[in-house]
Structures are given as structure tokens and as C-alpha cells.
Chains A and B, each alone.
Chain A
Amino acid sequence: MILAIMIGILLAGGLLCWAATRWNIAVAKWIALLAVLLDLVIAINLWLQHSAASLTGSNVWFINYQANWIPSFGISFHLALDGLSLVLLLLTFFLGALGVLCSWNEIKERTGFYYFNLLWTLAGITGVFVALDLFLFYFFWEVMLVPMFFLIGIWGDTNRRYAAYKFFIFTQAGGLLMLISILALYFINGAQTGTYSYDYFSLLNTKLEPATATLIMSGFLIAFVIKLPMIPFHSWLPDAHSEAPTAGSLILAGLLLKTGAYGIIRFVLPLFPEASAAISWWALLFGVIGIVYGAMLAFAQTDIKRLIAYTSVSHMGFVLVGIFAFREMAMQGVVMQMVTHGISTGALFVLAGMLKERLHTRDIGRMGGLWTSMPAMGGVALLFTMASLGLPLLGSFIAEFLILMGTFPVNPPLTIIATLGLVFSALYSLRLMQKVFLGPVTTEIPMKDLSVREIIVMGAFTVTIVLLGIYPQPVIDMAATVINNLVVRR
């Protein structure tokens, strides 16, 4: 029930924001912030209640809530929470709250509708992370898509409509393929058992011919790797990320990409164990290509947000590699990477937003020497460029190291190429630092360093990424039972 309430808070909060703008814009901001913070508190509370040790045997679910929705079609309102979902929920509300905070002064038009869309996207993401009825899952998949389309299309930058359509078409194309696969699974399972149901647990027992399994799996997989994104389906991402408003980029990079990874772990691997094992070599290959290709593109960019966007392509390549290694250690790395990439890349996008607020440009050719006037921002930027190149002491290192070390025995040559990604990441990260903060001072206007609100936002990012780097154990423990079940089942 608590899960439904969490989603409800966001949906209701969104409607309230929209309504509240009639009286006062400031109220809308506060409502949005309070709604997300309330969910964050609930999620932290859930974390404290459920340590991984409280589970017995193969039961991985902390909460399992099921209510009827459309029983005649076998559709139920089935929400459940395990360690993986809980980690991702915490990330969702954490980034969500920071997203609200960094929109505080940036959004001046249609403020209420903006926060409505922001909260509804978050609600959709929350739903995706906890839904265990495939119809419901698809429903939430769409709920997170449409408001995001508006966020990009209305509050985005100059080329926003193009970016919004591109984002929509790519995601929707994948979504429709997934819908076909869901339906196919539904009917095959129904025909086998006699009871037609969209429920995850009943569909898990579907017996499929290898060829059918591969076909149905590809529907799911394509939807998820478009979100992830995997080369060559990544091309929506740089446009969407660079055109979206700051909070939009933050949520796109920090959360929407993770729904793709989550989908593969939650649905593709358990529903199609043999079929996914059969394509693992290809998945590793495409992951590795993504790592290198994304990094090379990031190196070439001159638009700061595009640059960061391509680093996401590179980093999510690690996720794909780690998932399809089917090793416990690598999978732990994947969960870690989902969290730390959300934080580190999110922080970089927020920084890019702050720079744009001050300089009115995203072109790194027109920046330089900003450390002199903004040492605090420079220091934070340094920290997160270091996170993105995988410096130890910061969380991203743990993630990438676990993935690579876990994958190495599976496929040494591809892992070695993936490891070379560490060199490439140094290339683009230091280039970013050099072009923006170092070098001769270029701007005449004195820049204002971080404000109190910005310090709070960046401080939250900083503390988490460092904590995850020196003590990642809570996340590892939380995800452990889920991962063990997943890997042992194979």
C-alpha cells in the first residue's frame, strides 16, 4: 500500500502545483519540493526497516501489494519492492528533490505546469521501478514518457521541438515493440495455463520455444536498450539531454536511462534466461563499442551538455557489459553504476545548467578560466569530472571496477577493450575541465560563485558520491539477495 501512496503523493502533488499557480508561483515550488521530500523520507524509512538480512530463503520481496484493476483481462495493480527497486527509488527521490531545487530560479514561465510534468515523470519512474504487472508497467512507462516530452518541448532550449519529437519517436517505437511482446507473452502464457494474466510471477513460468523466446525478448530488449541507450539507438540522447532544461537533463540522465537497465535486469533476464544467455556475446560487444564510441564522440563535442550526454553513452556501455556478464560481482557493479552514474552525471548536468544561467551559452569554446572567479564551482566540477573518469575514492570507480573485474573471466579480450575506456574517459573529462575552468580568463563580467541554494544541491551530490566511494557496502548489501537469486537461477 505504501508504494501506491508514494506514487499517489507525486501525482497529487503535481496536480496541486498546477492548480496552485493561480494564486502563487512560490507555493507551487514548495509543494513540489515537499512532495518529493516526503517520498524521500518514506523511502529512507523503508530502507531502515528492511535490511537485506530480514529476508528468508529465496524470498526477495520486502513488500508485495496486489489489488484488482481490470480483472476480466487479468490486469492487476501489482506493486512490489525488493532491494534493487528500493535502491533505485531512493535514487529517484534524491535526484527528484535536487531537480526541483535546481529548477527554482530557472523556470519562469508556466511554472505550475512545469512542476506538474516534473512530478508526473517522477511518478512514472517510481511506478516503473515497482510495477510487477506487465500491463501496469507499460502504463507507467508511458506516464514517464509524455510529461518528459513536454518538459523538453516547452521549457527546452532553442532546438527543443526537434529534440522532443526525436525523444518521443525513439522511445515510443521501442515502447510499442515492447507492447507487442507483452501481448505475445500474455497470450502464449494464457493459452498454456488457461488463465490470462499480465502478472509477472505467472508470466515467469511461461514455456517458450527458443525461436519464439528470442523474438519476444527482442521486443523487450529493443525498448530497454533504446532507453539505456545502446549504440546505435543512442542518437536521441544527445539532442534530448542538451535541449532539455537542467532538471530535465538531470532526470533523463539520472533516472530515465536507468529504467532501461532496470528493465533488462527485472524482465529480460528472468523471463528469457536461455535466450538472453544466447545473445550475451553480442551484448558485451555492443556495450564495449558504446564505451569507446561514446567516449570518442564526447571528446569531439564543443557543446558542454552534448559532451556530458555522450559520456552517458560511454558509461551506460559499462552497464550493458556488466549485465550480460551474468556474474555476481559484475551485477553488483551494474547496480552501483546505475546509482553513481545518476549522481555524477546528474551533477555535471546541473553544473552545466549553472554555467548556462551565468554565461548564456553552452559552447565550451566561449568559456575558460572560470576557476578564477568561481573557485567553489571549479572545485565541485573537478570532483565530478574525476568521478566521471573513474577516480577511486568516488563511487563511480567502485562500480566500474566491479563490472570490469567481474566480466574479465567471462571474456578477457572485450573486457580489456572496455578497460581502455578508462583512458578515453580521462581524455574527455580533462578536456572539459581545461576548456571551461582552466586556461586564461575569457569573460569580462565578474561571475558569481555558488549561491547557498546551489551549495546545498552540489553538497548533496558531493557527499553521496564520496560516501559511495569509501563505503558502498549498504548498496551492495541491499542489492545482494536480488542479484544472488538472479545469478543463481541461471
Chain B
Amino acid sequence: MNSLIALIPALPLIGFLVLSLAGRHLPKKASAWIGAGMVSAAAIITIILGLQFLQAPPAGDAYTQLLWQWIRTETFSCSISFRLDALSLVFVFVITFVGALIHIYSTAFMQHDRDYARFFASMNLFVFSMLVLVLADNLLLMYLGWEGVGLCSYLLIGFWYETPANTRAANKAFYITRIGDTAMAIGLFLLFKELGTLNIPEILNGAPGHFTAGSTNITIIALLLLAGGMGKSAQLPFQTWLPDAMAGPSPVSALIHAATMVTAGVYLVARMHTVFELSPVAMSVTAIVGAITLLVAGCSAMAQTDIKRILAYSTISQIGYMFLALGVGAWSAGIFHFFTHAFFKALLFLAAGAIIESLHHEHNIFKMGGLKDKMPVIFWTFLAGSAALAALPFISAGFFSKDQILWYAWSAGNGNPVLWFVALLGAFITAFYTTRLMLVVFWGDMKTHISHFPGKRMTVPLVILAIFSVAAGFIEWPHNIVHLSLFSDLAQKVLPSTTLREGVPDEIIFQFVAVVVTLAGVFMGYTLYYKNKPILEQWKTSPANRALYNFFYKGWYFDQLYDFIFVKPFVYLTRVNKSDFFDGLYKGIALGSRRINEFFSVSQNGSLRWYVAGVLFGILFIFTLQLLL
């Protein structure tokens, strides 16, 4: 029992309520203080709680707090209660801490926006929902947060709602994630049918006794939950909404579509790890989905020209790494990559936002350039983030987390050389497109005039995030180099430790290969986009290469495919039946009666001859009948 836990989500909720009810009457300054203040306060409480947790781990390794009984029927009961254990602590820390920095950055970034209060209201609601998602002690409450973050994502992608493309992107994000959510809901029904509870600890304790490993039911449950996670985390085949989601303001992309919400799927899989461990099939699917996604999205990132779309595809790709890690059974490595990724990807998005703002809302990297000396703070922080994304050895947090994943992709219980190779290829691609991004934006000639420079409220968060992007990795070193594993010690209070396969080559070889491949990727980027540009132009002249480039640029034509097999038929079907087939039936009956009525009205025409004829015909008819019968 710890009564501080509820305060963490409650503060942003209060912020949301105040801003949404009274926001339009508040001065911008007040909105900023409330919006950023509530999240910062939540971050401070989290840090206090976290230190308490680390110094003196509570009984059962979790703080819990019951607020009230939510639903109780004869056969089902469920409460609003929170549970803070090591896994949720990591997530809560990232959500509130990175969230607070992004909120502070936003107070300046959104300064001139008409709907200042609405922005912070939605952001606070998001932080609240995301905290509920990771703190929930039962799956129904988690589902509440799950849908809540979907709503906020929708609201913030479509924040500038007067542009139709933005609301379309918002709708698309909601629709696609809703498909995943629905699969997850069905998973919950099945889970409840089998175990009679949705309480997470009860499920984790009860599942191994109830299901035999590898049985059909547990596999279906795990796959349905995974589908929910894939929807939210933009994994193949649900990835198409995330690049479009960049229509939202940059802080939104940083918070929701990079650091926190899109990793909800990672959290779900890690949270339900016992369920997944019972199903080898589901584990393999998780790993394979992650591997394919990281490759597909990485390829697309190489071809983009919009700075935010590059980062969006790279996010999809990095989350692919996390899924891969979870799937091979490297639980804590997956969560560690989430942890480092949150810092450097939030940093990259915020820095990109600052660049876009300064260059008259220019998104195309080929119209930027030469910013290295003009915007030094942005340059150095962006460099720190890029280094982490490309996983440059030892000087970046990304190296420590990604190196683990690469190693486990081969060596962990469910790992194999193919997964390792795909992950390695992904690392090469990542290093390449990151270098490309860096060189094109910051070196070369200046192509757009800088209108203004970001202020302190924007640069300070960037610097803090940059420090974390470099240093956050130092808490967990490869075993064979330095014996320091603070992160996995913490994560393994909840998650199982990773089992290694027999007969795997020495870890140092893998590290060496990874470093070489990363540097090769950097070198290729350097060659093609700085040193020897004509090679690329040459390459693009061939039609086949051009087609390949377009194929990657358009995101492997997934949008067109879905449009063709889902959207068009559905819209056609609904349009054809707009006036309701059944209503037509009734209208037909009504019309029929009216026609009969008209037919008989004709006979009542006042002409004596007709009546006599009618009478005679009737008599004749009756006689005939009598004769016949």
C-alpha cells in the first residue's frame, strides 16, 4: 500500500480537467504552468517513489494501491487499483520525466498557437492515460488506459484540425489501432473465460497451472494480445498509421509517437510474459514480427525526405528491435532498449521540431543544410541523439541496448542466426540513414533562411535529453567488458532472466561484428551523401533502382494495398446500401398496396354499364363454380 501512487496519474488528470473546463478563459502563462507543472510534479513524485523503491524494495516487490471497486457482478469483479513494480517503475519514470521535459519544451514551441490550452489539456490527458496503462493491476483498467492513449493520439495528431489531411491522419491512426485493440479485447474475453479473472498478478500466477505449455488456447490468447500490441506499436502489418501521424505538432510526435505510447505494445508483452512464455509459437511470432518490421521500416527510412517521416520510420524500426528482443526471450534487453530509445528519439523529434520551426515550417531535409554552425545547440544535441540511434560504440546509450539485442538475437533461448543477421542488417541500415540525415541537415550549403532561434525553454530540455542519450547506457554494460548490470537487476525483479543457448560463439565476436557493421553504415552514408555524391545520382538513373527507391519511399505500398482490399470495398458496400435494402422491401409493400388500391378504384367509376357488366360477370362466375364443383 502506498498512497502516493495514485497521485502520479491524478495530477495530470487534474491538469486536464482544469484546462479543458476553464482553459479558454485562462491566460497562456497559466495554462503553461498548469500543463507543464502537473506533469513535472508527477515526475518528482515518481523519482521520490522510485528512490524509495530502489533503497528498500517493498514486500512482493511492488507497491499497490486500491482506490475503489469498479465493477462487481456475481461472476466478475474488477477494481480501480494501481500496482507499481520494477517494470511499471521504468515506464512511469520515462513517461513522467520525458513527459515533463516535452511539456516544458512545448510551452515555448506552442507559444503562438490559438489553442494553447487545448494542447496542454490533451497532453495532460495523454500522460494520465498512459500512466493508468502502465500502473493498472488488472487488464480492464489497462484497457482503459490503452484506449485513452488512443483517443489522445487521435486528438493530437489532428490537433490542427482545419487541415483535412491532419484529421484524416488522425482517423487512420485511430482506426488501425482500434483493430488491434479489438483483437486484444477478444483476447481478454478468452482469458477471462479460461481463468475467471482479469487481475494481472492472478493471471501470471494462475496461467502456468491452468494451461499446458503450447496448448491452442494459450497460443490464441497470446497472439490476440500481441495483435493489440502490434496495433499500438505500429508493427507490421499495422505500421501504416505512424508515418502519417507526424501530422501532429512535433512535441506530440516526441512524446506519443516515439517515447511512450507506441511502446505500449512492448509493455503489454513484457507484462504478460508468463502467458507468452507458455506459447513458443507466440514467442516466435513476436520475434519474427519484430525482425521483419525493423527491416521493412528501416528500408523506408532510407528513402524519406521529410525529416519527421524519417524519424517515424526509424521509430517503427527501433520498436521492431524491442519486439525481437522480447520474442527471443531477452526480456530485460527489450525494456532496456525502450528506456534508451525514449530519450534519444524524443530528443531527435524535439530537435527536429526546433529546426522545422526555425526554417519556416520546412520539413524536407534537402531544403535544409548548413545548420551546423548556425544552430550549435541543436547541432550538438541532435548529434548526441543520432549517435545513439546509430548505436555508435561506447559514446551512446543506443549502443549498450542494441548490442544486447543483437547478441541475444542469436544466443538467447529462442534466438537463431537468421534473426541475428536481420537485426545486424537493420543496424547497418540504421547507421546509414542516420548519417544521411545528419549530413544533409547540418552540413553543406544553407538552403532556407533561419527565421528565429529556439529559446531557453526549448534548448534546456534538449540538453538534458542529450545527456541521457549519451549516459543512460552506462547503467548496463556488456557482461564481458564491465560488470555492471543495474538495469537488468531491476527489470529481473519482474521479468525472467534470459537463458542462453549452448554452443554459441564468444560474445566479443558479436560485439566486434556489430561495431564494424555500424561503422560501415556510417561510412556508406558519408560516402554517398558527402564525399562522393555523384555515385548516388548515377545509381538513381537506372529505372529499376528508381522503382526500388519509390517502393521504399511509399512505404512498400502498404497504404495502396489496404486501400484496395479494405477501404474501397467497404466504402462501396456502404454507399450502395445507403438507403437500406430492408426499407426498400417495406416501401415495396406500401407501393404494392397502393397499386392494388388504384386498380380497384378504377372499377368504382360511376358508369352503370360497368356495374351491370360486373354483376353479370359475378353471376356467371358463381354459376360456373357451382357447375364445376
Q: B623 within 8 Å of A by Cβ?
A: no
Partner of B71, one of A382, A420, A427, A473: A473
Q: Which residues of B contact A438 (CB under 8 A)?
A: 158, 161-162, 167
A405 to chain B, nearest CB (A): 5
Closest to B115 in A: A375
Q: B75 within 8 Å of A by Cβ?
A: yes
Q: Which residues of A contact B20 (CB under 8 A)?
A: 379
A-binding segment of B527-535, B572-580, B596-604: B572-580
Cβ-defined contact, A423 with B162, below 8 A:
no
Q: B137 within 8 Å of A by Cβ?
A: no
> A300-B578, A426-B175, A471-B68 are contacts. A415–B189 as well, Cβ < 8 Å?
yes
Partner of B162, one of A369, A398, A406: A369
Closest to A421 in B: B182
Cβ-defined contact, A299 with B574, below 8 A:
yes
Q: B583 within 8 Å of A by Cβ?
A: yes
Cβ-defined contact, B178 with A422, below 8 A:
yes
Cβ-defined contact, B162 with A300, below 8 A:
no
How many pairs of residues, A versus B, come closer than 8 Å at their CB atoms?
A: 135
Q: A66 within 8 Å of B by Cβ?
A: no
A395 to chain B, nearest CB (A): 11
Closest to A441 in B: B162
Q: Which residues of B contact A16 (CB under 8 A)?
A: none
Q: B174 within 8 Å of A by Cβ?
A: yes
Q: A401 within 8 Å of B by Cβ?
A: yes
Closest to A398 in B: B71
B68 to chain A, nearest CB (A): 7
Cβ-defined contact, B586 with A235, below 8 A:
yes
A478 to chain B, nearest CB (A): 12
Q: A408 within 8 Å of B by Cβ?
A: yes
Q: Which residues of A contact B185 (CB under 8 A)?
A: 401, 404, 419, 422
> A419-B185, A470-B80, A473-B71 are contacts. A232–B582 as well, Cβ < 8 Å?
yes
Q: B452 within 8 Å of A by Cβ?
A: no
A417 to B143 CA separation, bound complex (whole angstroms):
20
Q: B76 within 8 Å of A by Cβ?
A: yes
Mask for A284-309, Cβ within 8 A of B = 1, else 0?
00000000000011011100000000
Closest to B67 in A: A470
Q: Which residues of A contact B179 (CB under 8 A)?
A: 423
Interface centre among A382, A386, A405, A441 (most CB of B within 10 A): A405
Partner of A401, one of B140, B174, B580: B140
Partner of A439, one of B69, B162, B578: B162
Cβ-defined contact, B74 with A391, below 8 A:
no
Q: Which residues of B contact A210 (CB under 8 A)?
A: none
> A375-B24, A405-B76, A470-B80 are contacts. A391–B193 as well, Cβ < 8 Å?
no
Partner of A402, one of B68, B76, B174, B178: B76
Q: A392 within 8 Å of B by Cβ?
A: yes
Q: Which residues of B contact A296 (CB under 8 A)?
A: 570, 573-574, 577
Q: Which residues of A contact B144 (CB under 8 A)?
A: 392-393, 397
Per the 8 Å Cβ criterion, residues 167-186 of B in contact with A are: 167-168, 170-171, 174-175, 178-179, 181-182, 185-186
Cβ-defined contact, A440 with B75, below 8 A:
no
Partner of A423, one of B70, B147, B182: B182
Cβ-defined contact, B72 with A473, below 8 A:
yes
Q: Which residues of A contact B578 (CB under 8 A)?
A: 297, 300-301
Mask for B555-575, Cβ within 8 A of A = 1, else 0?
000000000000000100111
Closest to A425 in B: B178
Partner of B585, one of A232, A297, A301, A419: A232
Q: A257 within 8 Å of B by Cβ?
A: no
Q: Which residues of B contact A297 (CB under 8 A)?
A: 574, 577-578, 580
> A296-B573, A299-B574, A392-B148 are contacts. A238–B580 as well, Cβ < 8 Å?
yes
Cβ-defined contact, A300 with B575, below 8 A:
yes
Cβ-defined contact, A391 with B580, below 8 A:
no
Q: B94 within 8 Å of A by Cβ?
A: no
Per the 8 Å Cβ criterion, residues 19-48 of A in contact with B are: none
Q: B624 within 8 Å of A by Cβ?
A: no
Closest to B574 in A: A300
Q: Which residues of B contact A75 (CB under 8 A)?
A: none
B89 to chain A, nearest CB (A): 24
A70 to B174 CA separation, bound complex (whole angstroms):
60
Q: Which residues of B contact A392 (CB under 8 A)?
A: 140, 143-144, 147-148
Cβ-defined contact, A480 with B73, below 8 A:
yes
> A405-B76, A423-B182 are contacts. A391–B147 as well, Cβ < 8 Å?
yes
> A297-B580, A439-B167 are contacts. A430–B174 as well, Cβ < 8 Å?
yes
Interface centre among A166, A402, A427 (most CB of B within 10 A): A427
Cβ-defined contact, B24 with A419, below 8 A:
no
Closest to A469 in B: B144
A405 to B191 CA separation, bound complex (whole angstroms):
10
Q: B606 within 8 Å of A by Cβ?
A: no
Cβ-defined contact, A426 with B178, below 8 A:
yes
Q: Which residues of B contact A476 (CB under 8 A)?
A: 71-73
Q: Which residues of B contact A391 (CB under 8 A)?
A: 147-148, 151
A320 to B181 CA separation, bound complex (whole angstroms):
24
A97 to B442 CA separation, bound complex (whole angstroms):
65
> A408-B193, A471-B68 are contacts. A419–B182 as well, Cβ < 8 Å?
yes
> A297-B574, A329-B75, A369-B162 are contacts. A234–B189 as well, Cβ < 8 Å?
no
Q: Which residues of B contact A416 (CB under 8 A)?
A: 186
A480 to B118 CA separation, bound complex (whole angstroms):
41
Q: B188 within 8 Å of A by Cβ?
A: yes
A53 to chain B, nearest CB (A): 14
Q: Which residues of B contact A231 (CB under 8 A)?
A: 582
5 inter-chain pairs at a CB distance below 8 angstroms, sorted by A residue, are: A232-B582, A238-B580, A391-B147, A408-B189, A440-B163
In the complex, the 9 A-B pairs of residues with the closest C-beta atoms, listed nearest first: A392-B144, A300-B574, A408-B189, A300-B578, A438-B161, A235-B583, A232-B582, A438-B167, A426-B178
